[in-house]
């Protein structure tokens, strides 16, 4: 039995069946922005492993950071013990976010869980019984149960889990488009705050780009307004920048587009440059002090692999590498190339919309029946993308070569045209 057969028989893949219903491509190795398959084929990586490999793969500095840390200390429990790499990473995160208190955990979904627990504990500390969250339609905040409960109920896995999930409040998502008028969504937001503020612990949102719930880019004015409302009603503003963080929208953090600071920020995906699973929840000093000064006085969470030193070491190197390079120029250049190349898709009959910002390019189709076909065509033509539903999109490493990026978009468009002409 070769290993791919074992995999197909015994190993779950994301949102898949066993044995696997869809094709699984055997990856042999990676380098920079190329994926090498066991079959000898090479693919240009148009996904950066779900927003994470922002520097491309096998970066010598990141490899070295990991190798040297493994000799020093691969892991140590974080209960009652401290280590330098966690402190250095946390100080870096504090410096680049302007926030204060860092909780290092395993994955994006866990950081969202912790952010919800933190918000509830904050309100409890103030003597308030506020257990609901306000979230947006089209929101995606992760796959664990509490994270799932703040995902759009009509656009996610809610219904599968019946009445298990807590019921939160959902408000109209801002209109599509960075420059679009979002006053309708703002009105709905105001109404929801007025009506529900007494039970709201927090408002959670993906700033500027709603990711897995629709790759929706929207106007920063919406965030400014939401910040005002959170202040007015003492509802915590939770920015989920697990996807948008570390430069993906052209700013280090997408909240910067609206010139606002959240009370709680979640980071993940790009945090370790795509090397290790790690996420962070970062809060203002007000939040951590309020909880620490309460009767309970502690934040009730502590995963086994909290602040894993290997992950910390590679995250430090990844952030330093980003800060030392002209990443913003590169992302702007990527944005320009996406814009130029995507134009060609606009007039294809089955295309509903094209949009892009920073290192993200999206083609939305009118219906969702073509995702697998489009993926297959792209793979056959040397490009790795992973469409979902109607969304054919690419998020690239900031180090991608211009020609490779142009090819990614051109092949995506060819794939769509092939379908149209059938
Ligand atoms: C991916 C993602 C998550 C979940 O992160 P995992 O590491 O997959 O658990 C949460 N929120 C947003 C916005 C994401 O894009």
User: pLDDT tens, 318-367?
Assistant: 999 999 999 999 999 999 999 999 998 999 999 999 999 999 999 999 99
Quick check: is 179 catalytic?
no
CA distances 214 to 74, 201, 298, Å, are 38, 26, 37
Span(s) in the chain for CATH 3.40.640.10: 73-324
Active-site hit among 57, 140, 393, 398: 140
Q: Which CATH number fits domain 3-58+326-420: 3.90.1150.10, 3.30.70.250, 3.20.20.80, 3.90.25.10?
A: 3.90.1150.10
For residue 219, the 8-state DSSP code is -
Task: Tell me if residue 170 falls in helix, strand or coil.
Answer: strand
Is it the case that residue 422 has pLDDT exceeding 80?
A: no
Please report which confidence band the pLDDT of residue 156 belongs to, taking 50, 70 and 90 as the band edges: confident
Q: Are 69 and 58 in contact (CB under 8 A)?
A: no
Q: Which of 5-9, 227-231, 240-244, 391-395 has the lowest mean pLDDT?
A: 5-9
Residue spans of beta strands (DSSP E) within 290-382: 351-357, 360-365
Active-site hit among 269, 275, 390, 407: 269
Ligand 1 within 6 A of CB of 281: no
Is it the case that residue 50 has pLDDT exceeding 70?
A: yes
Please report which confidence band the pLDDT of residue 396 belongs to, taking 50, 70 and 90 as the band edges: very high
Is beta strand 279-283 parallel, antiparallel or unpaired with respect to 351-357?
unpaired
Vertex 143 angle, CA 139 and 146, to 5°: 80
Burial 313-329 (b: 16+ CB within 10 A, else e): bbbbbbbebbeeeebee
Quickly tell me which residue has 């809060």 as its tokens: 283
CA distances 395 to 48, 305, 361, Å, are 6, 28, 7
Is it the case that residue 55 has pLDDT exceeding 80?
A: yes
Share of the chain above pLDDT 90, in %: 95
Is it the case that residue 184 has pLDDT exceeding 60?
A: yes
Please report which confidence band the pLDDT of residue 1 belongs to, taking 50, 70 and 90 as the band edges: low
Quick one: average pLDDT of 144-152? 96
Ligand 1 centre to CA of 281 (Å) is: 12
The pLDDT, as a whole number, for residue 420 is 63
Cα–Cα distance for residue pair 363/80, rounded to 1 Å: 49
The residues, ordered by sequence, that sit 6+ positions from 67 with a Cβ below 8 Å of its Cβ are none
Is it the case that residue 198 has pLDDT exceeding 90?
A: yes
Residue 103: its H or E element: strand 101-105
Cα–Cα distance for residue pair 359/220, rounded to 1 Å: 18
Ligand 1 within 6 A of CB of 274: no
Q: Mean pLDDT score of the chain, rounded to an integer?
A: 96
The pLDDT, as a whole number, for residue 157 is 81
Q: Are 219 and 179 in contact (CB under 8 A)?
A: yes
Please report which confidence band the pLDDT of residue 421 belongs to, taking 50, 70 and 90 as the band edges: low
Task: Tell me if residue 136 falls in helix, strand or coil.
Answer: strand
The pLDDT, as a whole number, for residue 236 is 98
To test the pocket of ligand 1, the residue of 112, 116, 142, 204 to mutate (highest count of ligand atoms within 8 Å of its CB) is 142
Q: Are 277 and 107 in contact (CB under 8 A)?
A: yes
Cα–Cα distance for residue pair 141/156, rounded to 1 Å: 10
Ligand 1 centre to CA of 196 (Å) is: 27
CATH 3.40.50.720 fits 73-324, yes or no: no
Please report which confidence band the pLDDT of residue 2 belongs to, taking 50, 70 and 90 as the band edges: very high
Q: Are 174 and 182 in contact (CB under 8 A)?
A: yes
Is it the case that residue 106 has pLDDT exceeding 70?
A: yes
Ligand 1 centre to CA of 275 (Å) is: 16
Going by CA atoms, what residue is nearest to atom 7 of ligand 1? 108
Is it the case that residue 172 has pLDDT exceeding 70?
A: yes
Span(s) in the chain for CATH 3.90.1150.10: 3-58+326-420
Ligand 1 within 6 A of CB of 213: no
Quick check: is 218 catalytic?
no
Beta bridge partners of 102: 282
Is it the case that residue 233 has pLDDT exceeding 80?
A: yes
Please report which confidence band the pLDDT of residue 281 belongs to, taking 50, 70 and 90 as the band edges: very high
Quick check: is 240 catalytic?
yes
Beta bridge partners of 32: 57
């Amino acid at each position: 039995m070769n290993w791919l057969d074992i995999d197909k028989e015994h190993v779950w893949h994301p949102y898949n069946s066993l044995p696997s219903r869809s094709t699984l491509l055997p990856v042999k190795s990676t380098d920079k922005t190329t994926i090498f398959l066991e079959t000898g084929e090479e693919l240009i990586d148009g996904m950066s492993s779900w927003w994470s490999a922002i520097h491309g793969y096998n970066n010598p500095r990141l490899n070295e950071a990991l190798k040297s840390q493994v000799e020093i200390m691969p892991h140590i429990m974080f209960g009652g013990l401290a280590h330098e790499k966690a402190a250095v990473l946390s100080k870096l995160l504090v410096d680049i976010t302007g926030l204060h208190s860092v909780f290092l955990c395993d994955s994006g979904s866990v950081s969202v869980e912790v952010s919800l627990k933190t918000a509830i504990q904050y309100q409890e500390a103030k003597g308030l019984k506020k257990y609901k969250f306000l979230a947006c339609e089209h929101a995606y905040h992760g796959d664990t149960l509490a994270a799932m409960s703040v995902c759009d109920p009509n656009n996610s896995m809610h219904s599968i889990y019946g009445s298990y999930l807590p019921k939160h409040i959902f408000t109209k998502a801002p209109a599509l488009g960075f420059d679009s008028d979002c006053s309708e969504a703002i009105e709905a937001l105001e109404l929801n705050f007025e009506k529900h503020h007494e039970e709201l612990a927090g408002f959670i949102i993906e700033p500027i780009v709603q990711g897995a719930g629709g790759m929706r880019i929207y106007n920063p004015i919406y965030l400014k307004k939401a910040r005002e409302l959170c202040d007015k009603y003492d509802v915590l503003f939770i920015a989920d920048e697990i996807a948008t963080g570390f430069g993906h929208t052209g700013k280090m953090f997408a909240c910067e587009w609206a010139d606002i600071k959240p009370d709680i920020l979640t980071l993940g995906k790009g945090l370790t440059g795509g090397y290790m699973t790690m996420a962070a929840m970062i809060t203002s000093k007000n939040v951590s002090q309020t909880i620490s000064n309460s009767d309970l006085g502690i934040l009730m969470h502590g995963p086994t692999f909290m602040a894993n030193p290997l992950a910390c070491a590679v995250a430090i190197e990844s952030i330093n590498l980003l800060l030392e390079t002209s990443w913003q120029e590169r992302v702007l250049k990527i944005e320009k190339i996406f814009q130029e190349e995507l134009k060609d898709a606009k007039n294809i009959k089955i295309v509903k919309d094209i949009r892009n910002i920073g290192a993200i390019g999206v083609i939305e189709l009118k219906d969702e029946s073509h995702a697998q076909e489009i993926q297959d065509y792209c793979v056959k033509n040397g490009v790795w993308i992973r469409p979902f539903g109607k969304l054919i999109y690419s998020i690239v490493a900031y180090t991608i070569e211009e020609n490779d990026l142009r090819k990614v978009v051109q092949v995506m468009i060819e794939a769509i045209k092939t379908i149209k002409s059938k």
